[in-house]
Amino acid sequence: MKFSGSYVALVTPFHEDGSVNFDKLRELALWHVQQGTDGIVALGTTGESSTMTHEEDDAVVRCVIETVNGRIPVIAGAGSNDTYTQLQKSKKYHDLGADGLLLITPYYNKANDEGMYRHFATVADQVDTPIILYNVPGRTGCSISYDCCKRLAAHPNVAGIKEASGNIGYTAKIARLVSDDFCLFSGNDDMILPILSLGGSGVISVWANVFPKDVHDLVAAWHAGDRETAKRIQLENLDLIDALFCEVNPIPVKEMMNQMGMGVGGYRLPLYEIAEKGRETVRRALEGRR
> 64: number of CA atoms within 13 Å, CB side?
33
Contact 138, 125 (CB under 8 A): no
Does 290 score more than 80 pLDDT? no
When pLDDT is averaged across residues 123-145 and rounded to a whole number, the result is 97
The rounded distance, in Å, linking the Cα atoms of 128 and 145 is: 24
pLDDT for the residue numbered 39: 98
The rounded distance, in Å, linking the Cα atoms of 285 and 102 is: 30
Domains of the chain, with CATH numbers? 5-224 (3.20.20.70)
Q: What percent of the chain has pLDDT over 90?
A: 98
Q: Which helix (H) or strand (E) element contains residue 40?
A: strand 39-42
pLDDT for the residue numbered 99: 98
Does 82 score more than 70 pLDDT? yes
Does 1 score more than 70 pLDDT? no
When pLDDT is averaged across residues 249-268 and rounded to a whole number, the result is 98
Instruction: Determine how many CB atoms are found less than 10 A away from the CB of residue 110.
Output: 15
Q: Which of 24, 89, 92, 162 is catalytic?
A: 162
pLDDT for the residue numbered 288: 87
Does 135 score more than 90 pLDDT? yes
> 54: number of CA atoms within 13 Å, CB side?
12
When pLDDT is averaged across residues 106-115 and rounded to a whole number, the result is 96
The mean pLDDT of the chain is 97
pLDDT tens by residue, 31-69: 999 999 999 999 999 999 999 999 999 999 999 999 999
Does 249 score more than 90 pLDDT? yes
When pLDDT is averaged across residues 199-225 and rounded to a whole number, the result is 98
The rounded distance, in Å, linking the Cα atoms of 225 and 35 is: 22
pLDDT for the residue numbered 289: 82
pTM: 0.96
pLDDT for the residue numbered 256: 98
Q: Is 134 an annotated catalytic residue?
A: yes
Q: Which of 93, 117, 134, 170 is catalytic?
A: 134
**CB contact set of 169 (below 8 Å; sequence gap of 6+):** none
pLDDT tens by residue, 162-201: 999 999 999 999 999 999 999 999 999 999 999 999 999 9
Exposed, middle or buried, 242 (CB in 10 Å: 0-12/13-18/19+)?
Answer: middle
In the chain, the DSSP E strands lie at: 5-9, 39-42, 74-77, 100-104, 131-135, 158-163, 183-186, 202-205
The rounded distance, in Å, linking the Cα atoms of 283 and 290 is: 11
Query: Residues for the chain: how many in total?
Result: 290
